[in-house]
Amino acid sequence: MARNLLQAGHEVTVFNRDREKAKPLAASGARVADSPADAGRDAEVVMTMVANDGALEEVALGKHGFASELKPGGIHVSHSTISTALARKLTAEHGQRKQGYLSVPVFGRPEAAESKNLVVVAAGPIEHLERCRPLFDAIGKATFVMGADPVQANIAKLCGNFMIIGMIESIGEAYATIRKAGIDPELFLETVNSLFMSPFMGSYGKLIAREEFLPARFVLELGLKDVRLLLDAADELASPMPLASLVHDNLLSALAQGQGELDWSSMTQVLARNAGLKTKSS
């Protein structure tokens, strides 16, 4: 994402808690900051992409957080998949400092980020969205605005991730039955994907059929975190999501069985074992 911003002609300062990961961007023209506060100093916009609520709160509002240095009128654009509670807190905290805040999570794996093919989901005040649109255009292939409340983008991202893991659940259940019937899962995948024409079904279907869960495209532990955040939001909205509850329990079972660092599609091995099938990790 940072490299694509540089290629689009933006001046970019980068900070990573592991400085070695930021150094390669210096060769592309970025300045490497010593702290989040250093990165936010004199910035027009600060874009964050971190793993969870705790990490984002630390880099934004912590002792060396960038919010203390971001000038009035500056905008924090959060690309992370975070809780609605933290999105509201960041909206309030930046507002008190006369700064802007936007929730702008993205859909797409690392290769999509590299090729500028992320799908950008944004929400917040329209004037901030329009000001930042050139940045969204630099990192993604399409931007969809969910509304004027930043929380709306967070809920849209959580629901989108849920639909992906829900598809993985259905593939896992179908494959368990297909394998017990003596049918080749990849042949079955080719058959059903001629109906759905889904790149997600195609790519995840092959991984699951071949039990290729390393290297992880999205680690299971983070997937479980996202489903928990979704269920929290659904509780707040009094919106029952029974499939999400089922997926949560299957992800938790996979975590308990030592699959936390595998791809989240490895959850399907729990379904296979429940059907009495052998798996590579059995």
Look up 89 and say whether it is catalytic: no
The Cα–Cα gap between 238 and 41 comes to 41
What is the distance between the alpha carbons of residues 240 and 108, in angstroms, rounded to a whole number? 27
CA dihedral for 179, 183, 184, 187, sign (positive or negative): negative
Distance CA 273, CA 154 (A): 34
DSSP 147: E
CA distance 72 to 81: 25
Over 97-145, what HEC string results? Answer: CCCEEEECCEECCHHHHHCCCEEEEEECCHHHHHHHHHHHHHHEEEEEE
Task: Render the burial of 22-44: b for 16+ CB within 10 Å, e for the rest.
Answer: beebeeeebebbebbbbbbeebe
Contact between 243 and 226 (Cβ < 8 Å) = no
Cis peptide before 215 (omega within 30 of 0): yes
Q: Which of 21, 23, 141, 157 is catalytic?
A: 157
Confirm if 42 and 13 have CB atoms less than 8 A apart. Answer: no
Structure tokens at 107: 């859909």
For 84, list phi and psi in degrees, rounded to 5.
Answer: -65, -30
φ/ψ of 47, rounded to 5, equals: -110, 125
Give catalytic residues, as residue numbers.
157
